[in-house]
Amino acid sequence: MLKLKEIHKSYQQGSQEFPILKGIDLHVEEGDFLAIMGPSGSGKSTLMNIIGCLDKANAGTYHIEGTDVSNLSDNQLSDLRNQKIGFVFQNFNLMPKLTACQNVELPLTYMKIPKKERRERAMEMLRLVGLEERSEFKPMELSGGQKQRVAIARALVTNPSFILGDEPTGALDYQTGKQVLKILQDMSRQKGATVIIVTHNGALAPIADRVIHMHDASVKDVVMNQHPQDIDSLEY
């Protein structure tokens, strides 16, 4: 469970202060599929960075599964990110000199998991995303969709409680984007993972349990989907 209360974030430039987030309240339950939408500059990526413990709020409280993250050291935040949160970025963020399997293994390396177990878990995740046969390929040998699926496998290999995607289909074609969203939707529905995506594409709203609409650094409204649509049947 994630709980954010009265989150404020601003940046100082000279004598001027520019608000990025203004009093954000957000409560996310286990297994939720949440979409954060809004125009550029609305604060949605900054909110995602705070949720993912990549940035800190100037004011307010944030609890992850009961832990107040505002009091954690940088090392403690790094451990929490590695154990609890999987990230999927628009530009994939793969290491170019490593194979697909080695890229997926990276979070386990930081956790000092033995080499044999790292390999087994990485291959299991690559099978899950349909890339077992590409395990020894390097990123430059993969298509954009394949790179994103490697990134998803890497995000899932630690069995995180939360999967965060910042425009996860932004660099992909239509069909590949649907495949990626299908994986994320299945992780929420079948594995009980909490999935939060940031997107500017309003057509994706029907697949989420809840849609957070942001505007001018604030939450404008929250839309509940009583019957979220299967990504397979969505045309966007």
Spatial distance between the Cα atoms of 50 and 227, rounded to a whole number of angstroms: 29
Domains detected in the chain: 2-233 (3.40.50.300)
Kindly give the confidence (pLDDT) of every residue in the chain, 236 residues in length, as a single tens digit, with 9 standing for 90 and above. Answer: 999 999 999 998 888 999 999 999 999 999 999 999 999 889 999 999 999 999 999 999 999 999 999 889 999 998 899 889 999 988 889 999 999 999 999 999 988 999 999 999 999 999 989 999 999 999 999 999 899 999 999 999 999 999 999 988 887 888 888 888 998 999 999 989 999 999 988 888 999 999 999 999 999 999 999 999 999 888 77
Burial of 11 (0-12, 13-18, 19+ CB in 10 A): exposed
Pairing of strands 85-89, 162-166: parallel
CA-based nearest residue to 70, from 80, 59, 86, 78: 59
Predicted model pTM: 0.90
**Alpha-carbon gap, residue 70 to 59, rounded angstroms:** 9
Angle ∠(63,69,72) on CA atoms, nearest 5? 155
The answer to whether the CB of 46 falls within 8 A of the CB of 55 is yes
pLDDT value at residue 223: 94
**Helix ranges, 157-230 (H):** 174-191
In the β-sheet with 194-199, what is the strand arrangement from edge to edge? Answer: 85-89, 162-166, 194-199, 33-37, 210-215, 218-224
Separation CA 179–CA 162 (nearest Å):
19
Q: What is the pLDDT of residue 143?
A: 93
Is the CB of residue 163 less than 8 Å from the CB of residue 155? yes
Closest CA to 236 of 210, 198, 209, 207: 207
